[in-house]
Amino acid sequence: MDCYPCFLRQALDAARRAGADDVRQRAVLDRVLEVLRQIEPAATPPEIGDRVHRIVRQVAGNGDPYREAKAASTRQALALYPRLKVLVREASEPLEVAVRLSIAGNIMDVARGQECDLWGTVERVLAQSFAADDGAAFREALARAGTEGHDGTVPLLYLADNAGETVFDRVLIEALDVPVVYAVKGGPTLNDATREDALAAGLDRVAEIVSTGSDAPGTTLDRCSDEFRELYEKAELIIAKGQANYETLSEEGSRVFLLLQAKCPVIARDVGVPVGSIVLKQG
């Protein structure tokens, strides 16, 4: 119920970005109000978000309302990329810094409707203590991943979150020693990264980009392609970025490591940390 105000705000924001006039904005809101009334209590926020943003795309007649905003986020993050690389290069613990930068990038979220000071966030997250820290288990899992060397092995599957954040993911991937498969959404939903957004951020230079086969927020395995599910099953280690992946994958077991900032009270309560916390949590 705490998410309902946010869904309305997002729907209106997305409708406007989609170029909807007042009448269509009103039509979007009416349909969203109806969906919220009929939602089953067990629905997760990413599932509701999926329905809400499907309405926006349909009623506003725009398949990718956040397209421009996503491109702007990627440009903004790419402008910082050289400075991020210096931070990792000069770090005494490069992996630790790269993990923190990946989490710092999770602040990039135009759909939240709040301005963010990107460099300020980088500095904060570099200095901040983890509110949940399974870093030791993560480093162990990383060291093990890919050592078996079978054919068809997927040492590390990296589940992307938002456009722009992708650039920070790239910095982490460049600091790793294992081959990475980078999974993006199969189609536009909110400001989530698609293949186009990953390419714009240069992820093809450091990873194999694949699609989850789903255009819903988070990673709901039932809705992903058979091909992706097969990849998912084979992965030795999975990095899942952001709140929606947390909401859909936090019960998925010890192969999954959830990297995020707890940006809203609902997620923070679920993780058991204060709002604004940085989280590296084993599933």
Which residues in this chain contact a second copy in the complex, by CB under 8 A? 1-2, 4-6, 8-9, 12, 25-26, 29-30, 33-34, 36-37, 41
Structure-block tokens of residue 91: 């770090």
Q: How far is the CB of 225 from a second copy (least distance, A)?
A: 34
Nearer to a second copy, 117 or 208 (CB): 117
Nearer to a second copy, 9 or 205 (CB): 9
Nearer to a second copy, 190 or 200 (CB): 190
Q: How far is the CB of 166 from a second copy (least distance, A)?
A: 28
CB 218 within 8 A of CB 247: yes
DSSP state for residue 194 in the 8-state scheme: B
Nearer to a second copy, 8 or 178 (CB): 8
- Which residues lie below 8 Å from residue 113, measured CB to CB, with a gap of 6+? 9, 10, 13
Q: Is 81 exposed, middle or buried (0-12, 13-18, 19+ CB in 10 A)?
A: middle
Nearer to a second copy, 26 or 255 (CB): 26
Q: How far is the CB of 51 from a second copy (least distance, A)?
A: 14
CA-based nearest residue to 17, from 52, 64, 50: 64
- CA distance linking residue 140 with residue 112, whole number of Å: 34
Structure-block tokens of residue 164: 């722009």
Q: How far is the CB of 10 from a second copy (least distance, A)?
A: 9
Task: Provide the angle, in degrees to the nearest 10, between the axes of the packed helices 4-17 and 45-59.
Answer: 30
Q: How far is the CB of 34 from a second copy (least distance, A)?
A: 7
